[in-house]
Amino acid sequence: MPDRGNPSQASAPGGAIHPRRVLARLRQVMAGPGSAQDKLDRIVQIIAADLVAEVCSLYVLRPGEILELFATEGLRREAVRNTRLRVGEGIVGMVAAQASALNLADAAAHPAFAYRPETGEEAFASMLGVPVLRSGRVVGVLAVQNRARRQYSDDEVETLETVAMVLAELVAAGGLLPPEEIGTVEASAAMPRKFEGAALHGGLAIAPIIAHGVTEAPRDLVADDPQAELDRLETAVAGMHRALDAMLADQGLAKVGGESREVLETFRLIAADQGWIGRIAEAIRGGLIAEAAVERVRAETRARMRQITDAYIRERLADLEDLANRLLLQLAGRAGPEVLPPRFILAARRIGPAELIEYHARGLAGLVLEEGSPFTHAVIVARALDVPVVGGCRDLLQSLAPGDSAILDADEGRLLLHPEDEVRQIYERAAEHRRAERAAWADLRDLPARTRDGVPVTLLLNAGLLLDLEQLRITGADGIGLFRTEIGFMARGGFPDMETETAIYRRVADACGEKPVLFRTLDVGGDKLLPGISADSEENPALGWRSLRIGLDRPAVLRRQLRALLHATAGRTLRVMFPMVATVAELREARAQLDRERAQAEREGRAPERVLVGAMLEVPSLLWQLPALLKSVDFLSVGSNDLTQFIFAADRGNVALAERYDFLSAPMLNLLAELVSACNAAGVPLSLCGEAGARPLEALALLGIGFRAISMPPTGIFPVKAMLMTLDLAPFADFLRSARLSDSGGASLRGRIRAYARDHGIRV
């Protein structure tokens, strides 16, 4: 082991590091004769010499997440192609797992240190390792070592990261992996594959699939004239800004108003930020051409993305990658992708909202993301444009090749790549049936929601964005049974000012006119985060500090929202609903806050004519407080998603439990039937909102136990209304009552209900 207390064993630093000089020498090697291995051997020698390091080693990522030593200067030669580490194993493995540099004065003292006797590295104390990144993915690790304990300087770290980017292109250029492995990858590329993800906006698309954000890597990474490259960058940035300004001025984008337009305006502000442009300029000064500098910053951004859990920071980083793509196109003198099929599915790791709109104008039929949530900016815009979206399809991009065919089933959260002919034919028939069905459903818009035997039913919308309001006209819904006030805040990444918030609620009320709208106060926490009011870390967020609990602990937040709601509905009826109520005492406390704000609004002459107060019944504890609860509310709404998961103690997001507990089980239907009876006896209007109500079979069961108002996503209105028109409710209610009461512990009544519907011609 080295004597770590004797600094004389280290090579003395040789003065300032000159990245451009290192890159120029590497370029000569890469352009010269020799195999890829010969070039790697020479490159690690150059890096070791210029950084005054006694060791320089390159590890390449192999199949199975194995890092293999491909070249070294300073370690034993016999270790090359024999030393292997798993990702996460040892310091090299940690660099790969974290996609970030590790700068250690005493590597052996690090908890992750893994000794490999064949390398002879026990003689070296200090170590600097950086990831070799390409397209945001780790393809290797570059490391330098010295005998003495020393902390590598920022200049040395910067130089090694720049060199690692150059090496990434050599690794990706081929010649390093055995031909049989490359052949295996290519041979399997055309096999049918299925990718499962999250359904973010429903629909079906059958079309060629293209990859977004895949640009040809620059052939020459090293800048001969850094100032000329900086000038090119300045010109490209100015061109990008002009294009974004033109997009915002385009009157054709009026249909993506509301939150979607605000997303674009926020995106334009990010484009004007000098921080990320400064990082690109710094990389140019370090010796890279402008394209390579943009790619390097983009790779760092992607790597950082994988380490960040905060949804809002991740969204900002996604916007920066969109801008990087735009900048590369500007540098190439292009406005966008040159050749696209007339209709296509777009695959992306992530995508910005502006790019999505441009693709939509050129035939976008569907969007599939490796990353993405319902609150991703691009998904918000896609919903406005009615583009089917699936998110969370990991490792999709690396499986794509030009000309690939695909089926995007966004209702089921599924992408089928290279589908077999029989599968394609089935989906094509389904698409044709869907088109015919939608054409027929359009005729239902102005018909009353009424069963065949004359029972009226109120069909309401779930909404959360201003762009959802257009669905009132399209579907002919009877109003909004749940307006999720937090969704717009999440799309913006924070709270609007009081005037803006009031204006949003007023626009919702105006759009509804005489139709009712139930405003739910902020339901944040758990999986829905807002800066400044969400808990840092919780072991079980679904049961933690969320929804009304936050509002009661932060009364200023709750009262501010109530004030905005009161002012927005001045002279009308305000229906306000509190979420996640666990005790009647909590509801009374929240109502007291509302009463104080209402009194102030009346003094100011800005109060509603009438205020109705309701609660979301999501927490089972309320079921044993019904007498007191029903005396404290003007209406009640069942939150079927949360109530179901709490009743069965089953996380609704856990795929392993998805089929185990059924909403149409006798216990669940019996519980809801008792609730209907209690509300009817007390004269308290009752509705249900949630995904269950949008499915005709579940809606049928709800009607059978006495629900007469259901709120659902817009896609459910027409199918449920079509079901109503084929239903004689009285005999079905008798059947369901008998089925519930005679159940002897079965898992579900779904099969019996479906059989009844089939036998009686009910359209489910």
The angle formed by the CA atoms of residues 133, 139 and 143, to the nearest 5 degrees, is: 80
DSSP count for the chain of H helices, then E strands: 26, 22
Cβ neighbours, 10 Å, residue 755? 10
Residue 328: both structure tokens together: 């590369």
508, 467 contact by CB (below 8 A): no
- What's 365-393 look like in SS3? EEEEECCCCCCCHHHHHHHHHCCCEEECC
CA gap 324, 212 in Å, rounded? 12
- What's 568-599 look like in SS3? HCCCCEEEEEECCCCCHHHHHHHHHHHHHHHH
User: Which residues lie across from 484 on neighbouring strands?
Assistant: 520
User: Which residues lie across from 743 on neighbouring strands?
Assistant: none
CA gap 486, 471 in Å, rounded? 19
Contact partners, residue 599, CB within 8 Å, separation at least 6:
none
CA gap 106, 109 in Å, rounded? 6
Q: Which stretch of DSSP H or E encloses residue 439?
A: helix 421-441
φ, ψ for residue 379 (rounded to 5)?
A: -70, -40
CA gap 360, 352 in Å, rounded? 13
Contact partners, residue 3, CB within 8 Å, separation at least 6:
9
The residue annotated as part of the active site, out of 377, 512, 567, 679, is 377
* DSSP states along 307-372: T---HHHHHHHHHHHHHHHHHHHHHTT-SS-S---SSEEEEES---HHHHHHHHTTTEEEEEESS-
CA gap 298, 284 in Å, rounded? 14
* 253 three-class SS: helix
Q: How far is CA 239 from CA 76, 155, 272, 274, 357, in A?
A: 52, 32, 12, 15, 18
Phi-psi region of 221 (alpha: psi -120 to 50; beta: other; left: phi over 0): alpha
Q: Which stretch of DSSP H or E encloses residue 67?
A: strand 66-73
539-571 b/e (C-beta count within 10 Å ≥ 16 → b): eebbebbbbbbbbbeeeebbbbbbbbbbbbbbe
* 63 three-class SS: coil
Residue 212 is a catalytic residue: no
118, 76 contact by CB (below 8 A): yes
CA gap 471, 465 in Å, rounded? 11
Contact partners, residue 80, CB within 8 Å, separation at least 6:
69, 70, 71, 72
Of 583, 658, 590, which Cα lies nearest the Cα of 617? 583
Residue 679 is a catalytic residue: no
Among all residues, which ones are annotated catalytic? 377, 689
